[in-house]
Structure 1
Amino acid sequence: MMAMQYSFTLPADYDMSIIDRRIRDKGPMLDGFPGLGFKAYLSARKGEFGSRENLYAPFYLWQQPYGASDFLTGPGFEGLTQSFGWPRVKTWIIWHAETAPALGDAKFAAEEVIAIEPYSALADIRDEEARRAQRQARQADVLASVSAFEPTRWTLVRFSLQRSAPLIAGSSQIYRVGHVSLP
């Protein structure tokens, strides 16, 4: 299992209704994509929920790496790059992921990327992150809780999908969810 995300920072005066329309029109095209756990179509508006930028930043949970490969080499991603440019695609190895049956009802997402200190006890961090994700998944409003790490830049990501707007905490980025594609 792996997580994946790319992000496009848009100008401060960008008409974000263009992104909303894109999500509405193209979002269902990935429903049922092979190997997909979920794709959350995310956007953030500058000044809303503490966001410093306008963003379009889809987040994926892949059950199988071949799904990510098929998507990135396919026509959907090619069309995206023609519209918005060539993004840096971040990937993480899953430590723990839980999803609720009502995952498609998500309206908000929260994401926090945290640096892992050199020489940290990774097994201890993994175990604590798994426990944290499990506790979070038991909250009534939470529809997905993902904890994962990336050993190239040594970061961990905490990601959740929720029914209502989460509290802004620390360096979290809050997003609106326009659509959730499911397997």
Structure 2
Amino acid sequence: MIEMQYKIILPRNYDMDIIRKRVQDNGHKTDGFPGLLFKAYLITEANKNGNAYNSYAPLYVWNDTQGMNQFIFEGFYDNILDSFGWQHIQIGIPLSIHLAKDFKKSRYVLENSGDIPESPSLVGAPIKLLENAEESLGRLCLYNPDKWRFSEFYFYEEKPAVAITGHPMYEILHISH
């Protein structure tokens, strides 16, 4: 498995209904995409849910690299290039993943991320679950050993009461399986 995400930061005055309409019209196109475990169409809106900026930040989890390569190099990613220009795609390796059977009901995602500090052993690395993680419909923990960073994503049907200062709370516009 492999995860990818590109975070497109948009101007504070950007009309986020443009992104909502884009996903409404096109989100279904990745339903059933070969090799895709899921794609969550994520957005943040400035001054909403504690977010400081507007963004469009789709999150993909691929069962294998073949589907990801098809998406990137066979024209599907060109829609992003045409609309938003060249984007850096962040890559992560799933350390753990748990999706409840009603995962697709998720409407919000909390992200927690940070550095994995240099140490003589990675046993017990500082990647821990949030306090309300058991209430989530899905949990995804990723790491990138190239940058020694980790990201945890927690999926919820209802907006969680807890927020993580300095980390985004995304709204999910669509989930493709």
Q: Calculate the TM-score normalised by the size of structure 1.
A: 0.89
Q: Which structure features the higher share of helix residues?
A: 1
The equivalent position to 1:174 in structure 2, one of 155, 169, 175, is 169
Question: Would you say the 8 A contact 1:112–1:171 is kept in 2?
Answer: no
Q: Which residue of 2 aligns with 1:152?
A: 146
What secondary structure sits across from 1:75 in the alignment? coil
Segments of 5+ residues of structure 2 without an aligned counterpart are: none
**Contact 2:6–2:57 (CA<8 Å) still a contact in 1?**
yes
Backbone CA RMSD of aligned residues: 1.7
Partner of 1:15: 15
Supply the distance in 2 between the matched residues of 1:35 and 1:143 (Cα, whole angstroms): 22
Aligned position for 1:98? 98
TM-score (norm 2): 0.92
Distance 1:59 1:41 in 2: 7
Work out the CA distance in 1 between the residues paired with 2:59 and 2:163. 19
Amino acid at match of 1:12: R
Query: How many residue pairs were aligned?
Result: 175
Q: Match of 2:97, as an amino acid?
A: A
- Gaps in structure 1 of 5+ consecutive residues: none
Letter in 2 for 1:81: L
* Cα displacement string for residues 1-40 of structure 1 (whole angstroms, at most 9, x for unaligned residues): 1111001111111110000001111111000011111100
Aligned pairs for 1:36-115 within 5 A: 36-115=36-115
CA positional deviation for 1:106: 1.1
| Aligned 8 A contact 1:108 1:163 in 2 | yes
Q: Write the deviation string for residues 105-136 of structure 1: whole angstroms up to 9, x where unpaired.
A: 1111111221111126323228x64xx38x83
Report the Cα offset of residue 74 of structure 1. 2.7
- Percent identity of the aligned residues? 29
